[in-house]
Amino acid sequence: MKTRNGFISNSSTSSFILSCENKETTIIIPVEIDLLDYGNRIKDEEKLKEVFKNDYDYDPEKNKDQDGYSYEQEKYEDCLKEIQNDKCIIIGEFDNHSTDPIKLLLLDKITPLPKGVKLIADPS
């Protein structure tokens, strides 16, 4: 008989067996996440412009108010506003085919964001 320790998973499912008090089904699992493991920190306007040009094909000087760029422009302006308010931006990417449970938690928004962290672009 094959025995596995821990969770059994592939890209679409995870299996587990738990024992709980009869009426308790909520389990709080505190997780500490360094978002820089999943994205890049942007602290200034020049770096923000570079990332939007390279990763989103949006040049804020060239494409501003052009058809087809409204989403990118809105997100760029949201990010810029945060930087101007002395915040940093972390831009990362993951998909629902990931086998990394932290990425899946962040993607599905199961993990609440801590105070001071704001979601600018929703992947859904």
**Each residue of 105-120: pLDDT tens digit?**
666 655 566 677 777 7
* Alpha carbon distance 66, 119 (integer Å): 25
pTM of the full structure: 0.64
- pLDDT tens track, the chain, 124 positions: 444 454 444 445 555 666 666 666 666 667 777 878 878 889 999 999 999 999 889 999 999 888 888 889 999 999 999 999 999 898 887 666 777 777 766 666 555 666 777 777 765 5
Helix axes 70-84, 45-56, angle to 10 degrees: 160
Burial of 76 (0-12, 13-18, 19+ CB in 10 A): buried
Query: Which DSSP letter does residue 114 get?
Result: P
Asked if residue 42 lies in contact with residue 55, where contact means CB atoms within 8 angstroms, the answer is no
β-pair partners for 92: 39
* Alpha carbon distance 106, 109 (integer Å): 5
